[in-house]
Amino acid sequence: MKHLGLAAAIAVSVILSSSAGNAGVPEVKPANDFEGVSYSVTSTGTVVVVAGLREIGGKVAVCGLVWFEKTVSNTTKVIEAKFTDKIKYAVGGRTLQVNSRLFKRYPNAEEARGGVARCSVTKTAWDKSYASAKLKVSMGPVRVTD
């Protein structure tokens, strides 16, 4: 698995989503502090997940986006969320409970770089040390079953 940084030097601003299914879910522009992983579910295509830490309402939020590289099968698109749910997020030695299903999905890297990341606000209180901390994003061997 390779770790990825999203190259974008964009000021971060929180915007509320206007889509009906995700009304009220905070969104931010991705920035160069985002970290991530990539993985393949099948022999075709790759899923890339990148995320960054933000403070929203005094809580730690993990804001992320997902995109697909190469030719991705329909099966991969259908089961991607089950694999993405297995990614672990931590800051300052503390594991975060993140709902990655809230992350914004894009069909390719180009659209993702021009898009926004959706945030999962955790129950973890924001600590000022997190502002300079690096989000740890990891995914070990995964087995997904129904």
Instruction: pLDDT tens for the chain, 146 residues: list them.
Output: 433 333 222 222 233 233 334 457 899 999 999 999 999 876 777 899 999 999 999 999 999 999 998 877 777 778 898 899 999 999 999 999 999 999 999 999 999 999 999 999 999 999 999 999 999 999 977 776 65
Do strands 94-96 and 88-91 pair parallel, antiparallel, or not at all (unpaired)? antiparallel
In angstroms, rounded to a whole number, what is the distance separating the alpha carbons of residues 96 and 99?
A: 10
How many Å separate Cα 115 from the centre of its chain? 13
Tokens found for residue 4: 């990825």
120: nearest Cα among 142, 141, 97, 143? 97
Measured in residues, the chain has a length of: 146
Determine the pLDDT at residue 77: 79
b/e burial code for range 24-51 (CB count within 10 A of at least 16 → b): ebbbbbbbebbbbbbbebeeebbbbbbb
Determine the pLDDT at residue 145: 63
